[in-house]
Amino acid sequence: MKVLGEKFPEVVVKTTHGIFKLPEYYTKQGKWFMLFSHPADFTPVCTTEFYALEKRVDKFRELGVEPIGLSVDQIFSHIKWIEWIKEKLGVDISFPIIADENGNIARELGMIPEGNTSTARAVFIVDNLGIIRAIVYYPMEVGRDWDEILRLAKALKVSAENGVALPHKWPENEIIGDRVIVPPPQTVEDIKKRKEMEERGEVECFDWWFCHKELK
C-alpha cells in the first residue's frame, strides 16, 4: 500500500503499447503520469470511462500528464476491448493499458479491495521525479469524473511549479476566483514580511494566515 509523497515502485509492466519500466518510462521524458485502474474489460461503467478519458486525453497531455490504464485482465482482452470501443463507439483508445495478469502491481499499490479479485477505480498521479502526488479511489459502482481528475492534475502542477496552494474548485473558487493561496507564515517574522507584501500590493489578505495573489 502506497501513500502520498512516496516514490512510485519500480516495476516492469506489459501494456498494449509494449513493455514499460515504471516510473522511468515517463520520468526520463520529464513527464508526469496518471495510472488508473478499472475493474474489468468489457464492462459498461469502464467502457464509459475509457470513452470519456480518450475524449479528454489531449488536455492531459497538454499538461505533460500521460494516462496509463491497468486491470488484471490479460493483454489480448485489452486489445479486443479497445477494438470493440473503436468499432462500436468510434473512439480509438490512444493510451496504453497494463495487463496486470497476476495482480501483483495492483496489490502492491493497494488497488484491490479486501475480499475482491478485481481492482477498484483507483487513480495515482505521479510527478516527473516518480513521486506519488495524489491518490483517488472510486467504488466499482460509480464511474470517475475525468474533468475533476484533470482539474486535480492541473492544480498539482501549478502548486509544484509555483509553491502555492489551490482553493476549493480552483480556478472557479467562490471566494477568490482563479487566484492562488500563499502558504501561511511559519514565524512571527514571516507575519511581518507578509504584511509588508500586502502593503506593496503583492498579495491580498483576509488575515495574515489567509493571503492570495494572481497566478503569474
Which residues participate in catalysis according to the annotation? Answer: 46
- Distance CA(137)–CA(114), nearest Å, equals 14
Short-list 106, 134, 111, 121, CA closest to 33: 134
Q: Using alpha carbons only, how large is the chain's radius of gyration in Å?
A: 20
The burial class, CB within 10 Å (0-12 / 13-18 / 19+), for 39 is buried
- Distance CA(153)–CA(60), nearest Å, equals 8
- Distance CA(67)–CA(78), nearest Å, equals 15
Kind plus residue range of the DSSP H or E element containing 64:
none
What is the CB neighbour count within 10 angstroms for residue 126? 26
Q: Which residues of 7-24 are buried (b: 16+ CB within 10 A; e: fewer)?
A: ebeebebbbbeeebebbe
199 HSE (CA, 13 A, CB side): 6
